[in-house]
Amino acid sequence: MSLLDCFCISRTQVESLRPEKQSETSIHQHLVDEPTLSRLPSSTRTSEVICSTNVSHYELQVEIGRGFDNLTSVHLARHTPTGTLVTIKITNLENCTEERLKALQKAVILSHFFRHPNITTYWTCFTVGSWLWVISPFMAYGSASQLLRTYFPEGMSETLIRSILFGAVRGLNYLHQNGCIHRIYTDIM
């Protein structure tokens, strides 16, 4: 299953991953060399959001899914300095094969180049011990299958289906124009 294809499987509280419980030295520290703060595009309500790479600036709310062959947990979280809801994908790098590490690194690097309204981007990423934290915007409505199950159990209208597919095709077209094949990208994630 793709890291981006997460299903809501749990609504239980998630214990905080405290940095003091993590080893500060990790063989995987070379994956990310990010500055302490990243300026991010945000919703139309505010001009920008600042997400830090300090783990104490994030409050995990609930696990909302799993992905990347069950190596990644996906959490709804709050960036406490701004109050912004974000999605955090936390991957235990110690459990990843060398092949998976390379694929993960490639996906994180590629995502920084994507700028399209129909493609979810990563705002910042950092490591905490052997854990990779990837911060992205929270998509409140979830996936199309979640929308269908939650709001349209009897099925969606053709107009709504057309709108969703139009956005997906626009995102795919953008990826193809930039030399990225969607299937490869989602398999990595």
pLDDT digits (tens, 9 = 90+) for 109-147: 888 788 899 888 888 899 999 999 999 999 888 788 888
Which residues form the domain of 117? 19-188
How many Å apart are CA 135 and CA 120, to the nearest integer? 11
Does residue 2 form part of some domain? Answer: no
DSSP 44: T
| pLDDT score for 154 | 93
Model confidence at 50, in pLDDT bands (50, 70, 90)? low
Residue among 22, 31, 12, 38 nearest 107 (CA)? 31
In a domain, 132, yes or no: yes
| 6 vs 102, residue with greater confidence | 102
Q: What is the pLDDT of residue 7?
A: 37
Statement: residue 34 has pLDDT above 50: no
Report yes or no on 99 lying in a domain: yes
The answer to whether position 8 is within a domain reads: no
Is residue 23 in a domain? yes
User: What's the whole-number average pLDDT of the chain?
Assistant: 74
Does a structural domain hold residue 140? Answer: yes
Is 6 part of a structural domain of the chain?
no
What is the model's pLDDT at position 4?
A: 36
Number of domains in the chain: 1
Residue 147 lies in a domain: yes
DSSP 77-137: EEETTTTEEEEEEEEEGGGS-HHHHHHHHHHHHHHTT---TTS----EEEEETTEEEEEEE
Structure token pair of residue 43:
């919703």
CB 134 within 8 A of CB 126: no
Look at residue 46 and tell me whether its pLDDT is greater than 90: no
Judged by average pLDDT, the poorest of 36-40, 47-51, 116-120 is 36-40
Does this model's pTM top 0.75? no
Q: Which of 16-30, 56-70, 87-101, 146-160 has the lowest mean pLDDT?
A: 16-30
Instruction: Please tell me the total number of residues recorded for the chain in this structure.
Output: 189
> Using 50, 70 and 90 to split pLDDT, how confident is the model at 74?
very high
Report the pLDDT value the prediction gives residue 182, as an integer from 0 to 100. Answer: 60
**C-alpha–C-alpha distance, residues 50 and 42, integer Å:** 9
CATH number reported for the structural domain that contains residue 150 in this entry = 3.30.200.20
Stronger pLDDT, 2 or 178, i.e. the higher one = 178
The answer to whether the beta carbons of residues 5 and 143 sit under 8 Å apart is yes
> What φ, ψ does residue 44 adopt, rounded to 5°?
-70, -15
